Each structure stands twice: as C-alpha cells, then as structure tokens.
C-alpha cells in the first residue's frame, strides 16, 4: 500500500531542505582564511604615528619569524614593504607590538586601543605607552602617479596622541615622494607638473 504524502509532510521536508541549504551556505561563507599573526617592532622610545605602505616594489621583502609576519618600523616611522595586505581575520592576541631596545632586546607593548581616546584630565594623566589604531586605507596624492595602500598606528601616552605629538601625515614623508610605483594602481589625481 502506497502512503499519500500529506501537505504538512511536504512542507516539513521543504523547510528542512531550506534550513540545510542555508546552514551549508553560512558555513561556506565563514571560510575566510586566517591571516598571518603580526609582529610590529618599533624603534625604542618612538612616539607618534607610524605607517606601513604595502606592495612597494623596492620596499622591504616579506619577513617571517616563528610564524609571525614581522614589520620593522624604521626611525622615520614609514615602512615600505613589498608584501601585500595581510587579509583575513586574526585574534588580537596574535598581534604583538615591541620597542627594540639599543641592546637588541624587545620590550613588549601590551596596551592597545582601537577606539577614540577620551580628552579628559584623567585620560591625559595616564602615563603608559599605548598603541592606537591600525586602520587600513588608500590614498591618492597629486604628486605621486600611484595609489598607496597603507596601515596607520599611533604610539604614545594619551596626552601624546591627543596633542598630536610627532603626528606625521604620509604625504609629508620624503620617502613617499620618490616611491617606485611599478605594479601599483594608477592614481587618477596625479599631476606631473606638481613638485613633490
């Protein structure tokens, strides 16, 4: 004897198939690969902004150490690197910042904020060195024929950050003015008649 499938059974089967399809889709979309853990090594006592500019042909080659992507920030606060953006998700516990002491040892910098610094007397009185930001962006300057993709951080006390201590805009750094744009996206704002 053949059983008739009633209307409710068809709806249940259809609902289950829809849920299964949706679940598989959500799992497939969550397959964003993790990015390399990151280590930022900053000159001892450096206060202010520091930048990492990506995909620069004559920049520093990619450096890895113990599974970490290493960014050694030079004294001028601008690292040009040949490597591309480190895309994907990453647990913040796998992003490390250090001061390199004169003897070569690394001093761990553990305080980090990704939000705005409060401009209050209490906040200004805090004396610990903190890393702020980590924003990724792109910039087009009229005196450079390519688009620059970079990440920006600030390091210092809350007072240093609020007062703009050693805050350096990327376009004001000499190394940027003579950058090799080979392989980088063309800049629609470029005007070769402007002095760098």
Report the DSSP beta bridge partners of residue 148: 139
* Mean pLDDT rounded to a whole number for the chain: 85
**Given a cut of 80, is residue 13 above it in pLDDT?**
no
**Given a cut of 90, is residue 120 above it in pLDDT?**
yes
The closest alpha carbon to 82, from 61, 110, 65, 106, belongs to 61
Rounded to whole angstroms, how far apart are CA atoms 82 and 58?
A: 7
Q: Give pLDDT tens digits for 121-151.
A: 999 999 999 999 888 999 998 889 999 999 9
The overall longest dimension of the chain from CA atoms, in Å, is: 90
**Given a cut of 80, is residue 105 above it in pLDDT?**
yes
* Predicted pLDDT at 6: 60
* Predicted pLDDT at 62: 96
Instruction: HSE, CB side, 13 Å, CA atoms: give it for residue 30.
Output: 6
Q: Give pLDDT tens digits for 67-92.
A: 999 999 999 999 999 999 988 887 88
**Given a cut of 60, is residue 29 above it in pLDDT?**
no
């Amino acid at each position: 004897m053949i059983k008739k499938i009633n209307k409710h059974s068809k709806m249940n089967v259809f609902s289950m198939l829809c849920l299964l399809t949706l679940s598989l889709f959500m799992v497939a979309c969550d397959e964003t690969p993790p990015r390399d853990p990151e280590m930022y090594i900053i000159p001892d006592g450096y206060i202010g902004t520091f930048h990492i500019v990506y995909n620069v042909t004559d920049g520093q080659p990619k450096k890895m150490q113990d599974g970490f992507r290493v960014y050694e920030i030079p004294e001028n606060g601008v690292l040009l690197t040949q490597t591309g953006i480190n895309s994907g998700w990453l647990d913040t516990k796998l992003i490390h910042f250090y001061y390199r002491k004169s003897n070569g040892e690394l001093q761990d910098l553990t305080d980090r904020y990704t939000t705005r610094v409060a401009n209050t007397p209490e906040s200004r009185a805090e004396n610990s060195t903190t890393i702020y930001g980590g924003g990724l962006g792109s910039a087009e300057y009229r005196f450079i024929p390519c688009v620059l993709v970079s990440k920006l951080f600030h390091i210092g006390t809350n007072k240093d950050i609020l007062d703009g201590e050693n805050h350096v805009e990327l376009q004001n750094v000499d190394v940027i003015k003579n950058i090799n744009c080979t392989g980088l996206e063309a800049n629609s704002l470029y005007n070769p008649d402007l002095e760098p």
